[in-house]
Chains A and B, each alone.
Chain A
Amino acid sequence: MLKIEHLTKQFGGNCAINDVSTTIERGKINAIIGPNGAGKTTFFNLISGMHRPTSGTLTFNGRDITTLRPDEIARLGISRTFQATTLFDMATVLDNLIVGHRLRTRSGLWDVLVGSSRLIEEERICREKARWALEFVGLSHVEDRVAGDITQEQRKRVAFALALTTEPALVLLDEPAGGVNPEETWGLADLIRKMAKSGLTVCLIEHKMDMIMSLSDKIMVLSYGEKIAEGTPSQVRANPAVIDAYLGAEHADIQ
């Protein structure tokens, strides 16, 4: 679905991503792991168009998207979440989600001034889409609450919902379970499974190992900007390079 070839990103002399090639496979849950500073978020920023790669190519469904802007990439069907979602705290949860479907609408200033039927229809569609997304992530009961009042875990779900309102084919989740407690983490993992089951392709960055291992179909391991391993959870777990760079270091911290 998304083919990444020889992707490299340099910030000045610092090489954040170095010659990474991989594919994000359709309908699967693809995970990217790696120690802090390994370049995971930079990798997402490159795929979503926020940063332009120094070299390498990105091919999405056969189309070269390497030089496209983030909004163009979003329109093609790649949606992403951020580690922290900035919501408008004074507005309701539903209100925050309505804009998510804006990219699939065409109403401009003129429609607004004359109150065209297209605008009315598109606003209805956006509202429906927002309701549908809230329903999907299991938050219909908070749609009328102001965004400032909801919990951290609900905020994460709203971020998912916001990504879903854009009608994506591929969803990039940046630390979807960061900052939520263990029980809530399992709830979010179920939600990610549900997304994959509904036909979406998921790619996520996460630090919570047990979640990643049970959830992912395919894992790529980054360390210092380079891909050091790739494969199924069991393959990655058994890979000495991974244990050395990541799991080993972390386990050593705990025990």
Chain B
Amino acid sequence: MQMLEGRLGWLLLFSVGLLFPLATGNDYHLTVMTTAYIYAIAAIGLNLITGYTGQFNLAHAGFMAIGAYTVGILTVDHQVPFWIAFALAGPVTAAFGIPLGWVSLRLKGHYFSIFTLCVGYILFLVIEKWEGLTHGTVGLIGIPAPSPMGPMTFDSPLSLYYLVFAFLCVGIWVMRRIVNSLLGRTFMAIRNGDELAEALGIRLARDKLLAFLISVLYAGWAGALYAGFIRFLGPGLADTHHTFDMTMYMLVGGLGTLLGPLFGSLIVSWITQYMQPLQEYRFVVFGPILILLVIFVPNGIVGSYLARQARKSSLTASRAVAGNSKSNEKREASDAQD
């Protein structure tokens, strides 16, 4: 089991993602998977501010929409090449995220959540009502597919799958770097308690804003991918229920774990697909499942697994000490753990 947490585990996951299209060969499955990856990227970002830093942000879908609309408006109304618009999606989202985050993060706990819920809803309203810029409820139609990069073209579901998969890998890689570093420890210290973190010399305002900013960048670029993949945008993308969907992905997979949002996003997306025939009634099924999950598996799937592993190695450590022999392998194993 320990090997699954090391390099081999990553290689395994990567190969599964790489080989998935061979296993299905079905465009519908590819589309479901690609959409799930896009939401996973956004959820991985959300997890940084909510899961690792402990600030429950409910404006995330709004920022995803800002990224998506940046690409949509620039490519459709201003004929900007796709990749330039895509590159700009991050900075534009950040330009909104920094002031909004700065104001919201002055609040703590539930007040922050309620405030960001309102921020998200205002972003939705602005997108819906500002017809001159966003085309309002009509939405943006005819967004070009990502333009070819050298010999690679992105006009088939298969090529788009690999494009999004590549971004997902980059997103996870970057996030892994962050959360395993001193910076990640700083964020987690803030989650453990504002007061203690501050007493340890952590600059709360700055570091919270940094987590918020990185989180929002993930949302922005996930939105930009969404625009290039779905090629139609409506204000619905900014709707609060998307934020709650992403929150659900985090909860199912495990809040504050690296792979939790990805697994959550994949699992929930596929369950949703299979419950398609139930239409609106599927929420009658989803609601209770979520409640049971929060009660009985509060750490999520990945979280519960990691908690069990931590406890196990903790027990081995105490036994090793009792036997007066310190096993260095154990320590290395826990160092490598994510």
Residues of chain A having any CB pair with chain B under 8 Å? 48, 50, 69-71, 74-75, 79-80, 82, 85-88, 90-92, 95, 98-100, 102-103, 105, 107-109, 111-113, 115, 119, 122-123, 126, 141-146, 149, 162, 166
Complex Cα distance A99/B179, Å?
A: 12
* Residues of chain A contacted by B193 (CB below 8 angstroms): 86
* Residues of chain A contacted by B201 (CB below 8 angstroms): 71, 74-75, 102-103, 166
Pick from A85, A95, A108, A123: contact of B196, CB under 8 Å: A85
Contact B198 A105 (CB under 8 A): no
Instruction: Indicate the member of B193, B200, B214, B331 with the most A CB atoms within 10 Å.
Output: B200
* Residues of chain B contacted by A95 (CB below 8 angstroms): 185
Instruction: Indicate the member of A69, A112, A149 with the most B CB atoms within 10 Å.
Output: A112
Contact A103 B314 (CB under 8 A): no
Asked if A115 meets B177 with Cβ closer than 8 Å, knowing A74-B199, A99-B189, A107-B183, the reply is: yes
Give, as a whole number of angstroms, the nearest-CB distance from A140 to chain B. 9
B203 within 8 Å of A (CB atoms): yes
Which positions 309-323 of chain B face chain A at CB distance < 8 Å?
A: 310-311, 313-314, 317-318, 320-321
Complex Cα distance A85/B306, Å?
A: 23
B334 within 8 Å of A (CB atoms): yes
Give, as a whole number of angstroms, the nearest-CB distance from B55 to chain A. 16
Asked if A109 meets B183 with Cβ closer than 8 Å, knowing A82-B196, A90-B307, A146-B314, the reply is: yes
Give, as a whole number of angstroms, the nearest-CB distance from A47 to chain B. 11
* Residues of chain B contacted by A103 (CB below 8 angstroms): 200-202
Residue total for B at the interface (Cβ-Cβ under 8 A): 38
* Residues of chain A contacted by B199 (CB below 8 angstroms): 48, 50, 70, 74, 79-80, 82
Contact B186 A99 (CB under 8 A): yes
B204 within 8 Å of A (CB atoms): yes
Contact B177 A113 (CB under 8 A): yes
B192 within 8 Å of A (CB atoms): yes
Contact A146 B330 (CB under 8 A): no
Contact B317 A70 (CB under 8 A): no
Which positions 295-313 of chain B face chain A at CB distance < 8 Å?
A: 299, 306-307, 310-311, 313
Complex Cα distance A144/B318, Å?
A: 8
Complex Cα distance A88/B51, Å?
A: 13
CB-CB nearest in chain A for B196: A86
Give, as a whole number of angstroms, the nearest-CB distance from A68 to chain B. 11
Contact A144 B195 (CB under 8 A): no
Complex Cα distance A92/B199, Å?
A: 21
Complex Cα distance A113/B311, Å?
A: 31
Contact A144 B334 (CB under 8 A): yes
- 8 A-B pairs with CB atoms under 8 Å apart are A69-B203, A74-B200, A79-B199, A88-B188, A102-B189, A112-B177, A113-B177, A142-B321
Contact B331 A144 (CB under 8 A): yes
* Residues of chain B contacted by A50 (CB below 8 angstroms): 195, 198-199
